[in-house]
């Protein structure tokens, strides 16, 4: 029997993005979203109770000595179906996570509901890049490369200029570009490589170490600086180490203050839901939007192929 709650449950299938705040474990985010969605689904009105015919004994009309005993059919509700006896209709919802963010970082965090979880495989096995904003601070080196770790080293940073920083970033980007080409499993001297490169389809396949496809400096105000990074197969700890190595290259040291993810595959900041919007209607709307975008992209792709 399709109750309103069942209909809601079945219709909730797809991917959506939330904005994970810093200082919160990703599992807590996933659990909170699941709890809120279940609350919304279970708040749908419950179906009416089943009824059952029961026969009750009743003494009918008759003389004083000899009362006739008859059975009276009565339709009574089956109490075993009462919501206080059965509990909420749905107690678990399959909410899966995409690429995880650690406790220190914040940003776009993709979640999937129900059968939408199957789309993760497709999303992450293909070529998929992510955008980050890294804010660093010169002058310190810590054990876990973040600003609230145990300080190992203090250095000066007056000698650092924007120019020197950009030169270091260019070196790093060059090395990563080489890695990108070498992991693409295509012979660089072939015609195929040229054609792929012309179309912009030259990218790594399969398991690779973290590769930065783009790196630039957004802001430089010593001791603080901000970098924008596009990367693939990365972890947040790798990005913090990247900042530390940038500091080392500049003959100083640096720690990471903020890591923010701006984009994970096709999901950007615009679509990400803030904490106040982790409720059933907003999530359902976000999933619908994602579906319509995919359909449009699919149509455009098939039209392009023609």
Partner 1 sequence: MALGGLHLCKKCSFFLGVRKLCSDLQQSARFLHSANVQFSSIPQSTFAARPACGPAWPVGITGRFHKPPQTETWKVTVCQYSDTTGVTLAGRDNQQLPADPAQTGLISKQSLFGTLPLSDSQAPLLDLDGSPPLAPFEEISEEEAVQIHAAPALPTVSVSLGDYVDRSETLQQLLKLGVNLSKLEQRPNVGSMLLRLDFHADVKDRLLFLKDVGVGDSRLGTFITHNPFILTEGLENLRARATYLRSKKFSRESVATMVSKAPYLLNFSIERLDNRLNFYQQTLGLSTEKTRNLVVRLPGLLCRSLEPVKENLKVCELELGFRPNEIQHIVTAVPKVLTANKKKLTEIFNYVHNTMGIPHALITKFPQVFNSRLLRIRERHLFLQYLQRAQYDPAKPSYISLHCFVSLPDRVFCSDVAKATLEDFELFQKTL
Distance CA 294, CA 263 (A): 16
Q: Does 174 bind partner 1 (CB under 8 A)?
A: no
Instruction: Find the part of the chain contacting partner 1 (CB under 8 A) among 66-74, 203-211, 227-235, 280-288.
Output: 66-74
Q: Does 21 bind partner 1 (CB under 8 A)?
A: yes
- Burial string for 128-152 (b: 16+ CB within 10 Å, else e) reads bbbbbbbbbbbbbbbeebbbebeee
Residue 293: name the closest of 269, 262, 271 by CA: 271
Which of residues 24 and 93 has its CB atom nearest to partner 1 in the complex? 24
1, 2, 53, 59: which one contacts partner 1 (CB under 8 A)?
Answer: 59
5, 15, 16, 19: which one contacts partner 1 (CB under 8 A)?
Answer: 19
Q: Does 103 bind partner 1 (CB under 8 A)?
A: no
Continuous H helices in the chain? 4-11, 26-42, 83-86, 118-125, 162-182, 191-199, 236-249, 280-305
In whole angstroms, the minimum distance from the beta carbon of 85 to partner 1 comes to 5
Which of residues 56 and 175 has its CB atom nearest to partner 1 in the complex? 56
Q: Does 78 bind partner 1 (CB under 8 A)?
A: yes
Q: Cis (ω within 30 of 0) for the bond into 220? A: no
Distance CA 74, CA 92 (A): 37
Say how many residues touch partner 1, by CB under 8 A: 30
- Whether 282 sits among the annotated catalytic residues: the reply is no
13, 22, 123, 210: which one contacts partner 1 (CB under 8 A)?
Answer: 22
Which of residues 58 and 292 has its CB atom nearest to partner 1 in the complex? 58
In whole angstroms, the minimum distance from the beta carbon of 89 to partner 1 comes to 11
Q: Does 254 bind partner 1 (CB under 8 A)?
A: no
58, 190, 285, 289: which one contacts partner 1 (CB under 8 A)?
Answer: 58
265-304 residues in contact with partner 1 (CB under 8 A) are 269, 272, 274-277
Q: Does 201 bind partner 1 (CB under 8 A)?
A: no
Distance CA 175, CA 7 (A): 52
Instruction: Find the part of the chain contacting partner 1 (CB under 8 A) among 73-81, 157-165, 232-240, 283-291.
Output: 73-81
Q: Does 80 bind partner 1 (CB under 8 A)?
A: yes
CB atoms within 10 A of CB 232: 19
CA distances from 46 to 39, 91, 163, 218, 289 (A): 13, 15, 66, 54, 29
> Catalytic: which of 102, 148, 163, 264?
102
DSSP run (H or E) holding 147: none
Which of residues 17 and 186 has its CB atom nearest to partner 1 in the complex? 17
Distance CA 281, CA 278 (A): 9
Q: Does 23 bind partner 1 (CB under 8 A)?
A: yes
Distance CA 92, CA 144 (A): 36
First to last CA, the chain: 44
- Please answer whether residues 54 and 74 qualify as being in contact, where contact means their C-beta atoms are separated by less than 8 angstroms: yes
Query: Footprint of partner 1 on this chain (CB under 8 A)?
Result: 19, 21-24, 56-59, 69-71, 78-82, 84-88, 106, 260, 269, 272, 274-277
Residues assigned a catalytic role: 102
């Amino acid at each position: 029997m399709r109750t309103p709650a069942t209909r809601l449950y079945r219709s909730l299938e797809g991917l959506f993005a939330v904005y994970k705040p810093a200082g919160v474990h990703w599992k807590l985010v996933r659990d909170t979203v699941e709890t809120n969605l279940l609350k919304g689904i279970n708040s749908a009105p419950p179906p009416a109770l089943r009824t059952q015919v029961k026969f009750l004994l009743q003494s009918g009309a008759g003389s004083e000595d000899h009362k006739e005993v008859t059975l009276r059919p009565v339709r009574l509700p089956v109490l075993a179906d009462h919501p206080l006896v059965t509990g909420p209709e749905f107690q678990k919802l399959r909410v899966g996570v995409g690429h995880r963010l650690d406790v220190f970082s914040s940003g776009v965090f993709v979640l999937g509901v129900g059968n939408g979880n199957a789309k993760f495989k497709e999303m992450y096995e293909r070529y998929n890049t992510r955008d980050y904003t890294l804010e660093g601070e010169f002058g310190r080196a810590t054990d876990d490369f973040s600003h609230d770790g145990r300080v190992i080293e203090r250095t000066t940073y007056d000698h650092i200029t924007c120019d020197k920083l950009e030169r270091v970033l260019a070196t790093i980007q060059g090395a990563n570009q080489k890695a990108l080409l070498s992991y693409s499993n295509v012979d660089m001297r072939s015609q195929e490589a040229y054609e792929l490169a012309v179309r912009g389809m030259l990218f790594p396949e399969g398991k690779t170490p973290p590769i930065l496809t783009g790196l630039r400096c957004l802001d430089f105000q010593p001791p603080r600086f901000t970098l924008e990074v596009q990367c693939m197969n990365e972890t947040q700890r790798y990005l913090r180490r990247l900042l530390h190595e940038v500091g080392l290259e500049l003959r100083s040291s640096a720690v990471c203050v903020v890591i923010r993810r701006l984009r994970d595959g096709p999901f950007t900041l615009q679509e990400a839901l803030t904490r106040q919007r982790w409720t059933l209607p907003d999530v359902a709307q976000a999933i619908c939007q994602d579906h319509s975008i995919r359909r449009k992209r699919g149509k455009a792709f098939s039209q392009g192929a023609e």
